Amino acid sequence: MKDRTIRLTLYAAIIFLILVAATLSYNGIHRYQQYRQFQRTSAETVAVGVATEVAQFIRERQRMVALFTAEHLDSVARLIHSPDDSEEIAGYLRQRAMRFFPDMFALTVLDAQGNPLWDDFDGLIGDICLEDARRLLETGRHRVRVHPNPVVYHFDIMAPWQKDGASGLFFISFTADYLGQLLRVRQIPDHQLLLVDVGKQDLIEITPDGARINWPRLDYRMQADELARRLAAVPVSGTRWHVVDLHRPGLFAAERRRILMESLFIFAVFLLVILVTVRLLWQEAHRRIRAEKTKDEFVSLVSHELRTPLTAIRGTLSLMANEVTGELNPKTREMAGMALRNAEHLGLLVDDLLDLQKLRAGKMDFHKEEVAIAAIVENALGSYRDYARRFGASFQLEDRAPGVHVFGDPQRLEQVLANLLSNAVKYGAEGDRIEIGIAREGDRVRVQVSDHGEGIPAEFQSRLFRAFEQSRSERRHAVKGTGLGLYIARAIMDEHGGRIGFRSRQGEGTTFWFELDIVGEHGAEEDDT
């Protein structure tokens, strides 16, 4: 018993530690997923905001360039009619544009074929710029992008013009510094914002330091590790860019290590507590086992010592009550009968205590064989008819499964049924007719005992099959028991692989039943033979 208790304690401790480890693992995984989701949500929120702000900035520049173009159409007309004055007109337009656009890089005016109306001696307007301008003239569409230039990396804003039957584009280039500054201000700690042209193998165009030329590296295409660190990519309306958010290298690995260290620390604390608790529980279990052993030895000794004198007392009282030793006056005969009944009740109490000790020690003997269930019921009824008459009760048997056999210990099964009959007599109504039924339930046979008493109180039903539990609604004339009968009955049914239960309604009565597997079925004639 001691070894079993220690094993159970250790198993419980191990299971608890496993549960703690599982809980910490689940919590750690959940926290890590939440952290990833938080970082991803933050990145998406920032990227959406930056994409909106960049798109608004581009639209505002397009509006301002269109207004500037409209205000200077006269100068454009002079370019058409007085080409010899193109350098003077170009200087004037540049001077005026610088007042409107301090971050302007270059300015030119293009005709309907996309050719500049004055010479670009400084080479500020490159081939890519002209390519975008001609595409706009042909298709009416232009998506802003960064153009490389030996002087400044820039992006172009173009507005169409029309004057005196001629048409073309007013063309202004802007440096990318403002957009880089916007990225630098908006990015959050442990994150990096980039404007990327996803149509050209994820080409990085603008960084928090400005145009990509300010970021020293040989290849400005996003590398595999950068693509793996990408948390958000939001397109910018009117451009070829996506706002891309990258997390810092090792950000999630550092969070995993932090969560792991916290979980290990918590587990170590639990482990220490469990070790101390197991030690204390082991000591307590050791003391309890010794106390239980002492108690069991005492109960067993007292019970066995009581059986011998009880047997003698019951025999003597039986002889006296039946007037074998001589005729008794009515009063004496009544008292002898009362003493005999109490002695018999005391014998039942001793038997219940002994059975309880055997059950808890695992030493209750069972001698199983194939037996007719009807025979078990008849034997139990025969033993308890006199007991029922004493309280004005009677038994009524209905056998709807004749010839059914079960495999079990006849004496123990009779003990189960006897307990149900005894309870029905004690708890039934005055002069109750107790109904006993035998019926098939699929591959099982059910025996049930029904009374018509007060029923079992609802608050007591959950405790009905516990040891030493008794209902307080018992009739006043009934003899109190130990509260072990149903506890022992359930243990016997468990040993037989059967089931026991009840149904009860307040004020209408109670039905107890038990079920056993059917192992055979023989005809009535064979049973009689």
Among 362, 361, 440, residue whose Cα is nearest residue 399:
440
Mean predicted confidence (pLDDT) in 152-167: 91
Distance CA 390, CA 321 (A): 15
Element spanning 257, H or E = helix 251-321
What is the rounded distance in angstroms from the CA atom of residue 470 to the CA atom of residue 456? 10
Residue 145's closest CA among 29, 216, 67, 54? 54
The CA distance from 12 to 112, in Å, is: 87
Q: List the alpha helices (DSSP H) in 322-409.
A: 330-361, 373-390
Residue found under tokens 């000591």 = 283
pLDDT bucket at 262, cuts 50 / 70 / 90? very high
Crossing angle for the helix pair 177-186 and 2-71, to the nearest 10 degrees: 150
User: Which has more confidence, 371 or 5?
Assistant: 371
Q: Which element (helix H / strand E) includes 399?
A: strand 394-399
Distance CA 149, CA 53 (A): 25
pLDDT at 158 over 50: yes
**Residue reference for tokens 């008493």:** 453
**Average per-residue pLDDT in the chain?**
85
Is the pLDDT score of 362 beyond 80? Answer: no
Type of residue found at 364: M
Phi-psi region of 331 (alpha: psi -120 to 50; beta: other; left: phi over 0): alpha
Please report, to the nearest 10 degrees, the dihedral formed by the alpha carbons of residues 90, 94, 97, 98 taken in order.
-170
Confidence band, pLDDT 50/70/90 cuts, at residue 123: confident
CB burial readout 185-206, b (16+ within 10 A) else e:
ebbeeebbbbbbbeeeebbbbb
Rounded to an integer, what is the distance from CA 424 to the centroid of its chain?
A: 46
pLDDT exceeds 90 at position 249: yes
Q: How many Å apart are CA 105 and CA 329, to the nearest integer?
A: 136
| Residue 459, both tokens | 């608050």
Name residue, tokens 């153009």. Answer: 147
Distances (CA, A) of 147 to 131, 152, 173, 211: 11, 9, 9, 10
Strands 509-521 and 499-505: antiparallel
- What are the DSSP calls for 92-159, one per residue? HHHHHHHHH-TTEEEEEEEETTS-BSS--TT--S-HHHHHHHHHHHHHS---B-EE--SS--EEEEEE
Crossing angle between the packed helical segments 2-71 and 73-81, to the nearest 10 degrees: 60
In this predicted structure, the answer to whether residue 303 has a pLDDT above a threshold of 80 is no
CA angle at 43 for the pair 38 and 48, rounded to the nearest 5°:
130
Sorted by where each starts, the structural domains of the chain and their CATH numbers stand as: 42-178 (3.30.450.20), 253-354 (1.10.287), 365-528 (3.30.565.10)
Q: Any idea which of 148-162, 194-208, 284-298, 351-365 has the lowest mean pLDDT?
A: 351-365
* Higher pLDDT among residues 406 and 337, named by residue: 406
Beta bridge partners of 171: 108, 158
Question: What type of residue sits at position 278?
Answer: V
Q: What is the dihedral of CA 4, 5, 6, 8, to 10 degrees?
A: 80
CA neighbor of 194 nearest in space, from 155, 219, 231: 231
Predicted local confidence at residue 168, as pLDDT: 92
- Structure letter (DSSP) for residue 188: P
Q: What are the tens digits of pLDDT across the range 32-90?
A: 999 999 999 999 999 999 999 999 999 999 999 999 999 999 998 888 888 888 889 99
pLDDT digits (tens, 9 = 90+) for 448-500: 999 998 888 888 888 888 766 665 444 444 445 566 778 888 888 898 999 99
